[in-house]
Amino acid sequence: MEKLKVGIIFGGRSGEHDVSLLSATSVLEAIDRKKYQVIPIGITREGRWITEGDPLLQLKERDFSRGDSIPVKLLEKIDVAFPVLHGPYGEDGTIQGLFEMINIPYVGAGVAGSAVGLDKRMMKQIFLQSGLPTPVYVTFLRREWEEDEGEVIRLIEEKIGYPCFVKPVNMGSSVGISKARDREELVQAAKLACKYDREVIVEEYINCREIECSVLGNDTPRASLPGEVVPKLEFYDYEAKYTDGLTDFLLPAPLSPEETKRVQELAITAFLSVNVSGMARVDLFLDKDSGQFYVNELNTLPGFTQFSMYPKMWEISGLAYSDLISELIDLALERFAERQRIEVSRE
């Protein structure tokens, strides 16, 4: 049988470019080449596409001499796209829209699910509408900060207080995130977050354990055994995530059977509420004081190295990394076949 042609797309214009290269390295090493013909496709930070030679090596060495504009003809020649693009322009529905326009299957959430999954404000609004507990938050626009910094600070101090977490609304991998313990730190945190997005979210601090759960599927998703993140730094920031030895991972998380079941139920509800397909990692807080779980956020394209929490939680649940990649491709084809049943014209 002819091998399925899988386009692995990585790099991209977001602040998570380097994280994407790490994930892509693992996927390219682990994908079953007996089943798939692999076509690597790199995207530079400037948005140029690299399709010749070794795109991954060229991106790592910043050799963009062979970069080109969007190779739509190439995309039309692959059977399924596997975007390993974290953050804006890869996880926010933009590239998913391109795949929809040229009518090819792709791994992961669709346009709407991707867009909502990256936008923390919209995501949390949907969580609340779906009855999911989530930390208290406020948002503000960069324009509002620049026009009346004092009023924004007043709102945050009134609604949230200190300490609090300040984040760009549309970004992942803890890029641009800070913990603010007082007004001076809040000002610096807001300025940093505004560099990465036009909208900023500020969340309450909860004395908690950080629990994660992987979800896999389309209309009938299933949840993995949960894991626990124990950062050695003050919180799970970018450095803690991607520097070896700065974080401990407990797999599975030391939870009671009842707590494990609750985490899995909340994770699946979050997945379905945002209309995600394929995969998502759901991040939760377990309040150390009250014992209540909060759904913090959902990530439609989580870190995907062999050592990342999403595949590791599936590994302890009985699904090996290579098999996980294959199942995601199968789910992409399943979702594509379902979408092909939709009428696009009136006869």
Residues 6+ apart with CB under 8 A from 252: 225, 226, 227, 260, 313, 316
pLDDT attached to residue 1: 73
Query: What whole-number distance in Å separates Cα of residue 257 and Cα of residue 249?
Result: 19
Query: What whole-number distance in Å separates Cα of residue 119 and Cα of residue 240?
Result: 23
pLDDT attached to residue 234: 64
Query: What whole-number distance in Å separates Cα of residue 156 and Cα of residue 143?
Result: 16
Half-sphere exposure of 277 (CA within 13 A, CB side): 22
Q: Which of 163, 207, 158, 206 has the alpha carbon at shortest distance from 184?
A: 163
If pLDDT is split at 50, 70 and 90, which confidence band does 245 have?
low
Give the CATH superfamily of 137-204.
Answer: ATP-grasp fold, A domain (3.30.1490.20)
Q: 117-132+206-336: which CATH number, 3.20.20.140, 3.30.470.20, 3.90.870.10, 3.30.420.310?
A: 3.30.470.20
pLDDT attached to residue 194: 94
Q: Which position has the higher pLDDT, 1 or 105?
A: 105
Output the CATH code of domain 4-106.
Answer: 3.40.50.20
**59-91 residue pLDDT tens:** 888 766 555 656 677 777 899 999 999 988 999
CA torsion sign for 307, 275, 75, 172 is negative
Q: Which two tokens stand for residue 153?
A: 């600070």
Is the pLDDT confidence value at 312 over 90?
A: yes
**98-123 residue pLDDT tens:** 999 999 999 999 999 999 999 999 99
| Sequence ranges of the domains in the chain | 4-106, 117-132+206-336, 137-204
Contacts 24+ apart (CB under 8 A), 65-71: 70/98, 71/41
If pLDDT is split at 50, 70 and 90, which confidence band does 160 have?
very high
pLDDT attached to residue 62: 75
pTM of the model: 0.89
